[in-house]
Structure 1
Amino acid sequence: MSAHPQLSFDELTTTEETPLHEVTFVVVDLETTGGDRTADAVTEIGAVKVRGGEVLGEFATLVDPGRDIPPAVVSITGITEAMVADAPGFDSVLPAFLEFSRGAVLVAHNAPFDVGFLRANCERLGLRWPKPRVVDTARLARRVLTRDETPNHKLATLARVLHARTVPVHRALDDARATVDVLHSLLERVGPLGVRTLEDLLDHLPDVTPQQRRKRGLADDLPNAPGVYLFRGPNDEVLYVGTATDLRRRVRQYFTAGERRGRIKEMVALAQRVDHVPCAHPLEAEVRELRLLAAHQPRYNRRSKFPQRAWWVVLTDEPFPRLSITRKPGGLGPFGSRRAAADAVEALHAASAVRRCTERIPARNPRGRPCALHELGRCGAPCAGHQSAAEYEPEVIAVRDLIGGRDDTLLRRLRAELDRLSAAQRFEDAAAHRDRLAALVRSLDRGQHLAALAAVPELVAARPDGRGGWHLAVIRHGRLAAAGGARRGVPPMPVVDALQASAETVIADAGPLHGAPVDEVRVVHRWLTTGGTRMVRCSLPWSEPAGSAGAWRTWLEKALTGRTPYAGVD
């Protein structure tokens, strides 16, 4: 799956690291009536905007808290109720501050306090919280300064130890100015430790073990590009496989305190190197990840390692076929669990007279005895010779036609039974019957979707890449055979021609998915049907049969939301 020579993965980079001298920081400090962000209010806000050591602007105002200021707070801040009597309320101050700090990284000393008040007031006022990245100078100081350098990490102490030009006095703007000096001093300390970018700084803030920190170097040679990464262990075995839109940045996150999963920490401790596979776009990354998971079955991945473990419901090959649950692709499916497949079998039995017994019945001279189901009129008792193979065949055809999307008679039978139970006011039975019918419709719809795609020998599709270009994919029998892209200004059709010429050969197999892995067809189908993807070429029409379960989607949506709990479709 290679792209046109004009397309470089460097040009597909979506996330670039920002040097610290290019980062705009807004250092903010709040004074409040107390420490409870839900019960207390802001009395003053001060902020300083800086970039590259230069002050770009300041923001400061007293705020009317709309409530009394406790005497203890007045004694600390010196802000009295008389001082804030004519001040604006925070409902007018906060939008102005959000505009002042838009696009910047927020900095505060003990940031959870200040940022928590800002976020809580956004929620109270119905304003959108912009989710800025945040740097906490108190936390950074704990990472940088030793106990010999500072007795504690209070702002006043750090301002003295680091020789800040402004002395903090529990007034918002002065404290913000002091925090600016503390921030710059701390940034000077982390520079020799390899912290050169904002991303380096944010990764450095968490408290990580020396072992984690040493292994950060495993990500140094990875590109800032989309693809798949593979952690390898001491014997070169694959420990873990994942995808990322920015390989270098994602892998570095495994070496920070933000990674809390125990099994992943264990994996990182074993890892000796990280390999990567650059990809043209996210679809290729997802597909490559699935194939690598199936090939290596890494011990620390939990999903999609065993694509062959899907379940299917098939009709057996014998004179009087019955429904059977199997791993071999065919019939109705795929199902993620045997229980789900068994529920589908139960629904099909409720809709048809296909036998439930498991014995093999000969075509001639059967010698069995009728069971209770025959007495209930739910089985023709072919085991006892009461029903010939020709008489039994229509029920088998009805099941095959339902699975193949050629006829929905069995669904209509189930709907009629649902209506009967509802009319008889047997609502609990009706609800259970409705759920079985809904599950069957869902599984039929899913299987017919995937089978219809896998039946197409080749199609080419294009999705906008968000930058004026195209992500391109060649799909053969539901599998990704080639992936590439055309940047803005590059004619896409020559790239399409090159991709088709170099695409993998796919030999179709038997079964509804023609040999394609279930997970891969699902991923490809989702990509083709979302995000504005367009069809470029198609060797055969990609269509679903007229009698498919898709005609029942409206009923299914209403049934699952409870708007029509018992009614069927028109």
Structure 2
Amino acid sequence: MSARPAQLTFDELGTPLREVTFVVLDLETTGGSANTDSITEVGAVKVRGGERIGELATLVDPGTGVPPGIVALTGITSAMTAGAPPLAQVLPSVLEFLRGAVLVAHNAPFDAGFLRAACERHGQVWPRLPVLCTARLARAVLPRDEAPSVRLGALAELFGTTTRPTHRALADARATVEVLHGLLERVGNLGVQSLEELIALARESAPHRPTQRQRQKRVLAQGVPSAPGVYLFRGPRDEVLYVGTSGDLQRRVRSYFTAGERRRRVRDMVALAERVDTVVCAHALEAAVRELRLIAAHHPRYNRRSRRPNHTWWVVPTAEAFPRLSVVTTPRDGALGPFGSRRAATAAVDTVLDVVPLRPCTQRIPAKGASASPCALHEMGRCAAPCAGLQTPEEYAPGVRALADLVEGRDDAPLHRVAAEIDELAAKERFEVAARRRDELAALVVGLGRSQRLTALAAVPELVGARPDGRGGWEIAVVRHGRLAAAGVARRGVAPMPVIDALRLGAQTVLPGPGPLRGAPVEEVRLLHRWLTTGGTRLVASDPPWTEPARGAGAWGAWAERARPVEVAGEVR
């Protein structure tokens, strides 16, 4: 028997199978139910590391005669059980033999059910120990063409056991031990190394049982560390098939080879995978950021979000003498966004045109104006007709400044005007129009708020946040211009400030780029903002101070809370 190592390797996290004590048990009964004392014989073998370290065998007096059919099957007669101890005397010894072990039986629900019911009747405490069924394990491990039946006798013949089952408790337990060892040799080829994985494998139900190809790929999980980070499944040409993140890389990667993974798309990915690479991270935030960056870099075919990573839409004023609003995918300074779809960005354009005096047409107009006749929008009072030379660039400029002030949060007067209009419409009982205007204003407030929050974060050259890790320590992040520049942890008992100082000194240099987010990816800025503003994160340092505009959309949170559906002809919208 091998000695227990001082420290387990990453491959052996969990309970290594070589260190598990198994008690393989078999019961013979009179054929009665578990609710009566119908056990006639108990046989158990204790094994560890492939060695037999103890046995227990005894007949049990059930207090009744043994039926002829059972006598013919087992050879146990009423005369044999008449002088045996009753179950009440045998049970404490059986429970003591089981203590600290895993209960193994062929058709384990039967044997464990009888013992559990006996404990309830005789005032014993059921130890709630792990239970492993060799019949179910065999069905999970062995292909049907090799093992059409998983009866104990059939498996004993398949594995060539020296002890053959005879429907006597100790002999059947000994045969089950050999079957168990044969199955454990098979599961090693599937990458199963711990007790937890073994029990999970035995519990896999037939409809969701992993394919043989999926089982064979379990070896890809070997060497994966039990730490937070990012994992990459790579294909036969070393291409990245899938990128994911987890707080425990080893557990997550191994889950891809079990019945718990039922997604057809992922199973197809696992079948193609040839290798799993991992990147250990300081904490979950760093892992999430690295996942975003790797997906954007590799566009893995099995990540749904990799189809269009960081693809967003923005609303920007054009560079003309009479600027108009345009929907683009590459933002410039002063852009409003991001929006998840072109449709949402176009809806924002319509709402903005209702609150700032910009022309809604799309034609290019020279600085000296054009000779065109004013269109219907001019007659409706929605445009001053610069196309007809009725407005100069200087006269048009206040509308452009109003847009910039609204987007950057310097002036929210246009929002107040729309809110007053909604109140006036509701007072006139024009509920449908009021409801539509309310929804448009709410959508604009949401878009402005998102834009101003992310823009404000991306504008800060450096800030440091620290979040409690739940174990008395701190998770630390250094953010520069909307990007994660460094990440680390200060464990419990470690002074955090020296760690923070070291992280700041070694943090990545981030040069600001163009646009409202200074070149940072939208998803990364969103992720960092969420981490900094939730979960008890504390702002340790910010140079210059991280601020958001006082007259921005954030001040409209109370209005959004007060906004209620407007009644329309007896209905609620």
In structure 1, the residue matched to 2:555 is 551
Q: Cα RMSD (Å) of the superposition? A: 4.1
Distance 1:365 1:273, change over 3 A: closer
Separation of aligned partners in 2, 1:558 and 1:162: 76
Partner of 2:119: none
Report SS of the residue matched to 1:243: strand
**1:557 offset after TM fit, Å?**
3.8
SS at match of 1:496: helix
Confirm or deny that 1:401 pairs with 2:405: yes
For 1:532 and 1:136, the matched residues in 2 are separated by: 46
1:142 maps onto 2:139 in alignment: yes
Structure 1, unmatched stretches of 5+, are 1-9, 26-42, 45-50, 55-103, 116-131, 168-177
Choose which of 524, 528, 541 in structure 2 pairs with 1:524.
528
Q: Secondary structure at the match of 2:256?
A: helix
Q: Distance in 2 between matches of 1:517 and 1:220?
A: 34
- Answer whether contact 1:399 1:410 (CA < 8 A) is retained: no
1:282 and 2:275 matched: no
Q: Distance in 1 between matches of 2:329 and 2:290?
A: 24
Q: 1:488 to 1:184 in 2, by over 3 A?
A: farther
CA contact (8 A) 1:240 1:300 kept: yes
Over residues 18-46 of structure 1, what are the superposed CA-to-partner deviations in whole Å (9 max), with x where a residue is unaligned?
34698999xxxxxxxxxxxxxxxxx99xx
* More deviation, 240-249/141-150: 141-150
1:324 counterpart letter in structure 2: S
Counterpart CA distance in 2 for 1:470 and 1:188 is 46
* More deviation, 140-149/486-495: 140-149
1:367 aligns with 2:371: yes
Counterpart selection for 1:452 from 434, 452, 456 = 456
After superposition, what is the alpha-carbon deviation per residue over 1:421-469, rounded to whole angstroms, capped at 9, x for unaligned? 3223232332222221111111111111111111110011111111111
More relative contact order in 1 or in 2 (CA 8 Å, sep 6+)?
1
Q: Where do residues 115-194 of structure 1 align in structure 2 (5 Å cutoff)?
A: 139-143=136-140, 188-193=181-186, 194=188
2:373 matched to 1:376?
no
Query: What letter corresponds to residue 446 of structure 1 in structure 2?
Result: R
1:232–1:350 Cα change, 3 Å: same
| Equivalent residue number for residue 199 of structure 1 | 196
* Gap change, CA 1:188 and 1:381, over 3 Å in 2: same
Could you report, residue by residue, the CA deviation over 1:496-545 in whole angstroms, capped at 9, with x for unpaired residues?
12111111100011211111110110111111111111111211111101
d(CA) in 2 for partners of 1:309, 1:105: 54
- Cα distance between partner residues in 2 of 1:144 and 1:163: 25
Query: For the structure 1 residues 18 and 426, does the alpha-carbon distance in structure 2 shift closer, same or farther, using more than 3 Å as the test?
Result: farther
CA distance in 1, matches of 2:513, 2:429: 49
Deviation at 1:417, TM superposition (A): 2.5
Q: Secondary structure at the match of 1:208?
A: coil
Counterpart Cα distance in 1 of 2:103 and 2:377: 71
User: Shift in Å at residue 165 of structure 1?
Assistant: 7.8
SS at match of 1:309: coil
2:260 aligned counterpart, secondary structure: coil
Name the structure 2 match of 1:209.
211
Would you say the 8 A contact 2:431–2:567 is kept in 1?
Answer: no
Match of residue 245, structure 1, among 244, 247, 254: 247
Contact 1:308 1:327 in 2 (8 A): no
- The aligned counterpart of 1:300 is 302
Measure the CA separation in 1 of the matches of 2:437 and 2:108.
57
Name the CA distance, whole Å, in 2 between partners of 1:198 and 1:298: 33
User: Is 1:255 matched with 2:272?
Assistant: no
**One-letter amino acid matched to 1:298:** P
How far did 1:110 drift? 9.8
Contact kept? 1:408, 1:547, Cα under 8 Å: yes
Using the alignment, how far apart are the partners of 2:200 and 2:541 within structure 1? 45
Shift in Å, 1:400? 1.1
Report the alpha carbon displacement of residue 488 of structure 1 after superposing the two structures with TM: 1.2
Equivalent-residue separation in structure 2 for 1:164 and 1:552 (angstroms):
78
Following TM superposition, by how much is the alpha carbon of 1:308 offset from its aligned partner in structure 2, in angstroms?
4.6
1:307 and 1:518 in contact (8 A); partners too: no
Structure 2: 5+ residue stretches without partners: 1-6, 23-34, 37-45, 54-101, 114-128, 156-163, 569-573
Query: Counterparts of 2:105 and 2:301 in 1: how far apart (Å)?
Result: 40
Q: Report if the CA contact (8 A) 1:137-1:182 is conserved.
A: no
Label 1:146 to 1:360 Cα distance change in 2 as closer, same or farther (>3 A): closer
The letter for the 2-side match of 1:351 is V
Write the distance in 2 (CA, Å) between the matches of 1:449 and 1:239: 34
TM-superposed CA distance for 1:345, in Å, is 0.5
Structure 1 match to 2:427: 423
1:401-550 pair list within 5 angstroms? 401-550=405-554
Q: How far has the Cα of 1:197 moved from its partner?
A: 2.0
